[in-house]
Structure 1
């Protein structure tokens, strides 16, 4: 009766949604109309394993039938834990067929974090990728003791698990086989499982980043997901039959939308790399047509290219720099509305044969027609570089609450500082406080068991995004940062830390930056260097080091980082310029609670963990001996001790 009431409420909220229009019916239609067409590929031990749409449907329904035999019922929440794997995608859709709810977690989630999620969501069943993830869950069971509600752990990769024969574990293949046997005995069950769900049912329980506390559950219904994907398709963001690589965490909303929602609605070919570590290598074999990655990942790609060029013969370096400088200047003029001449087009064609094309092929981006970035601001150098290569790189804007798809730049309207226009079917306006408000069928209906948070976020038919921004005269949206992060110095100078941090992180030498200055006389910053980029720079410049900690404290590295901060200071008004900085001897780490799994800063944790450093910065100290607490993925703890230098931005060592 409770589920019926929930459906009726959803029908009132979305009267034009059709009950039978959901993820399972789309999968069934694809299997019926394109049974032998490849739907998914996975690289396993160097060999690409293919699944047709019929294979896809058979695995999903077989798993659903077997899972129901194990005791999963409507509204049960089932944990999904691991990296991208076909079995985990099949499992999520099988869970949905039972009108139960998949709840994916990040693969590097610690046992303690899992314990909290399992308790909050009353999870009794889990699907795990491999032994590492199963061991975490069994550790949670051990921690919770008699209070543990876990009844079954289903695993995909059997290595190291088949011999254990733990009473709680069962192989994914066995569940599917049991389900297939049941389907053979009950012929009507196959269609029954396809038709059980409704567009008004929850298709996934995703989670907020949890920057200020425990992540909130965000239920997304079939309708939210499909309308989000279709709105994007209507705007030209997706096309039917895209070749897509599924490498982003399955717990992130973008992966669910790209790899399941849009993939089913538009028949994508979803390709899964062998491991996260091989994703860039596998990308070249996949040669996708659609590619999304964060500004940080685009920046890392550029760093790899620059490192490779620095190690090339002199002639190749000169040719590369000549053509790239030409292309960069051409792209700057193009973004300012100036079209290239015939001669420039001809010379660009030459560069395409010699430089641009080979670089794109090396990266695996030679077939990409839809490259995107989102999540934070992207550096001008990075943005211009990939566009100069001939990739029409564009920015988009979204959150988990609106299925990650709200606005994007069109192919012919690209600006560095905007995120584009709202998609068809999405309305955006700015309230009197400068907050971005949104409504549309892609916007969720409320948080999981959080009525107060729901009432705060959804008001008068509009979702309050929590982001500050404005609409330009031509309708393009500019996002400034989180409204909650607008703070003031002691002199009442208003600033948004993330705005300054993003601009510092435009430098590929800076991985993370935490701006300090709330209620203080001036701004300072804690820097986490990018080990790969700074390490390469150190090698090229004769700076010795044996570890991240040692490299971070090298005097020449301080000079390097000072130069990056000065570049940012030139863009800031004098009262908001950064005065002092320290290079931390470790990276901000999600296991230490300093950043979320999506690498957003948890400022309260940083303030607490590094209070002694912050006090030393503002007390004018030139160094501090500091022990940083460390939490390993196993849950064990330790410390990393180092003497840290604290320097003024305006001064330079002799």
Structure 2
């Protein structure tokens, strides 16, 4: 591993940028006045795309702003927004910001204590939510609050109004706490009609350094903190990113990841408003892929799990195809891989390879891009967690200009990115303009730019730990700069370990090697106890790909638990793990693994809402299994509740097999599985 670099690597700076010094509401008003009839957003409803122009967008934002003011929302307040991506989410956000307040986004899957923690920390009195499911959560939270006394130091729930924007199923609800979004807009029209010019003054009074959005941190080790991001923070990031990769008004973007995530605020909102980007909202999660294909976005940003699921989909489809189609795609992929390997380093293929690539693209790789909805992609990004180099390489081989980015909520999601002709599959690129990067003596990545957040809401101690007096953000991540000044991220600094032979390694790196298999959904790796031999792993299956494989092998099963316990499935995963071990140093290879009887669930606090594993929760909850793995036992007994497809459930005692790879050999003559296939 390279020695920690003490110097500063900078992305340079090109000045103030096109949108610096403004605010989101003022940018919206500018777009509404200069391009009033251009489409700002479109939402698919009942199979038809419903457009909203910039002028209509601005009008609805004004009505919502007046409506929120009529409910008592004042400058400096925080409005919570809870739900899936719909135009109303952004209308609520811009309406809130127009009167000097800010929004805190809450993931639609949040429940119970997590939901209460965010609402009480933000002291939100108004919640904008999506539908009956979210309304029921909030009503339940209120009833629980009323039915008990607060503990010492516990803050009360202050919510006074809940506004919902999907009334389906709520027709019979008559709680005075509740209000439909259209009623809020109507109330705003009446309130605003009596106060001409009031909103104009509020928008002009807004300062670029005001809080625009509060985003929660991932919370992998504790309850999430609330990071305050100003208009300046977000718009500086938008300017700097678009200097690397220009975005224009004619570009299309499909918004399907939660607005509570900094990644969506970064691209859809900050870049969208500063560059006039058109946003499209899928009808629902079931039609997301079809809607993506129909729009054909120019720009896309998704965490690794989305790219991994796309690859899994390709693998399943190709494995179901006939021999001729598999052969043609295999040839086309190999040609695309050769061309991609040259292009990402700035080289150009020769005439023969260019001709072969044109043919391969038409008959093999373009149809796959089209099926994935990526036929028109100019560039796309992945971030939030490491993406395996093999997955990265696959997308470049089929002609998708995928780039890794690195950043955190605390720096508006991005600080480092790949350039078009300078991509290395094991790095995250170089700093964007206006960003300084330094590796300190402990190997920690430090960042400094205009996008470093204001601080954690009501948590000055944590803020002081995160940002020092010189303005450097201490990321908590370990990394180094390679010979080309590309940043290589190892892992969270506290999770970087040292093997018995002195090798420094990251559990996340080993886990990503395992997760490259289409059959593995999650993997959590544990170091051996003192005197132990080799790594052990808890593995959960990808039910779609393993289920498809089981169907092809004529292997019957009832539940996920039943599938995970099949000897044939253990053999399947054993081969995948053995292959992953081949690329790892001997001292950090996985020696034993167990297929867990259930998938990790964010509702059980096992993974975050952005699907990052909470290692401390896993280590505590499955301590008996981990101990049995490390002791080298043959199996371990657990109790678990099994739920069947008809909704019935029963608690059972299960015996989980522990697979010892030290005695396993891949069957002779079996070649390595190609990247694009799930078949051996």
Q: TM-score range by the shorter chain?
A: over 0.9
Residue aligning to 1:34:
35
Residue aligning to 2:479:
469
TM value normalised by structure 1: 0.93
Q: Secondary structure at the match of 2:44?
A: strand
CA deviations 1:479-538 (Å, max 9, x no partner) are 111101123457776432112112211222111111111644231010011111111122
Q: Is the 8 A contact 2:99 2:202 kept in 1?
A: yes
Distance 1:467 1:168, change over 3 A: same
Distance 1:19 1:601, change over 3 A: closer
Residue aligning to 1:427:
436
- Whether 1:24 and 2:25 are equivalent positions in the alignment is yes
Greater shift in the superposed pair: 368-377 or 188-197 = 188-197
Q: CA separation in 2, counterparts of 1:499 and 1:122?
A: 39
Q: Secondary structure at the match of 1:587?
A: coil
Give the 5 Å matches for 1:180-195: 180-195=189-204
Give the 5 Å matches for 1:333-372: 333-335=342-344, 339-372=348-381
Residue aligning to 1:85:
86
Q: Secondary structure at the match of 1:478?
A: strand
CA deviations 1:233-253 (Å, max 9, x no partner) are 111254444211110111100
Residue aligning to 1:329:
338
Give the 5 Å matches for 1:139-154: 139-145=140-146, 147-154=156-163
Measure how far apart 1:180 and its partner are: 1.4
Give the 5 Å matches for 1:86-235: 86-145=87-146, 147-235=156-244
- Whether 1:645 and 2:657 are equivalent positions in the alignment is yes
CA deviations 1:335-360 (Å, max 9, x no partner) are 56653221221121112222222222
Q: Is the 8 A contact 2:561 2:642 kept in 1?
A: no
Residue aligning to 2:634:
622
Residue aligning to 1:505:
515
Q: CA separation in 2, counterparts of 1:121 and 1:640?
A: 42
CA deviations 1:21-72 (Å, max 9, x no partner) are 1111100000000000000001111111111001111111110101110111
- Whether 1:285 and 2:294 are equivalent positions in the alignment is yes
Q: Is the 8 A contact 2:332 2:364 kept in 1?
A: yes
Q: Secondary structure at the match of 1:642?
A: strand
Measure how far apart 1:570 and its partner are: 1.9
Q: Is the 8 A contact 1:26 1:264 kept in 2?
A: yes
- Whether 1:297 and 2:309 are equivalent positions in the alignment is no
Distance 1:25 1:130, change over 3 A: same
CA deviations 1:427-471 (Å, max 9, x no partner) are 111111111111000111221111221111111321111111112
Structure 2 unaligned regions, length at least 5? 1-14, 148-155, 644-648, 668-680
Q: Is the 8 A contact 2:24 2:273 kept in 1?
A: yes
Q: Secondary structure at the match of 1:102?
A: strand
Q: CA separation in 2, counterparts of 1:335 and 1:42?
A: 36
- Aligned pairs, how many? 637
Q: CA separation in 1, counterparts of 2:638 and 2:24?
A: 52
Q: Is the 8 A contact 1:488 1:519 kept in 2?
A: no
Distance 1:89 1:557, change over 3 A: same
Residue aligning to 2:46:
45
Q: Secondary structure at the match of 1:591?
A: helix
Q: Is the 8 A contact 1:379 1:507 kept in 2?
A: no
Distance 1:518 1:597, change over 3 A: farther
- Whether 1:482 and 2:492 are equivalent positions in the alignment is yes
Greater shift in the superposed pair: 493-502 or 417-426 = 493-502
Residue aligning to 2:421:
412
Q: Is the 8 A contact 1:549 1:642 kept in 2?
A: no
Residue aligning to 1:9:
none
Q: Secondary structure at the match of 2:92?
A: helix
Q: Is the 8 A contact 1:526 1:584 kept in 2?
A: yes
Q: CA separation in 1, counterparts of 2:452 and 2:250?
A: 26
Q: Is the 8 A contact 1:490 1:518 kept in 2?
A: no
Residue aligning to 2:152:
none
Distance 1:438 1:268, change over 3 A: same
Q: CA separation in 2, counterparts of 1:408 and 1:108?
A: 29
Q: Is the 8 A contact 1:428 1:439 kept in 2?
A: yes
Q: CA separation in 2, counterparts of 1:539 and 1:102?
A: 47
Q: Is the 8 A contact 1:613 1:624 kept in 2?
A: yes
Greater shift in the superposed pair: 375-384 or 426-435 = 375-384
- Whether 1:588 and 2:588 are equivalent positions in the alignment is no
Q: CA separation in 1, counterparts of 2:429 and 2:113?
A: 40
Q: CA separation in 1, counterparts of 2:161 and 2:267?
A: 29
CA deviations 1:379-399 (Å, max 9, x no partner) are 333222221222222111111
Distance 1:629 1:398, change over 3 A: farther
Structure 1 unaligned regions, length at least 5? 1-14, 632-636
Q: CA separation in 2, counterparts of 1:336 and 1:19?
A: 33
Measure how far apart 1:145 and its partner are: 1.2
Instruction: Name the structure, 1 or 2, with higher relative contact order (CA <8 Å, separation 6+).
Output: 2
Residue aligning to 1:540:
552
Q: Is the 8 A contact 1:241 1:269 kept in 2?
A: yes
Greater shift in the superposed pair: 313-322 or 86-95 = 313-322
Residue aligning to 2:450:
441
Residue aligning to 1:565:
577
Distance 1:538 1:440, change over 3 A: same
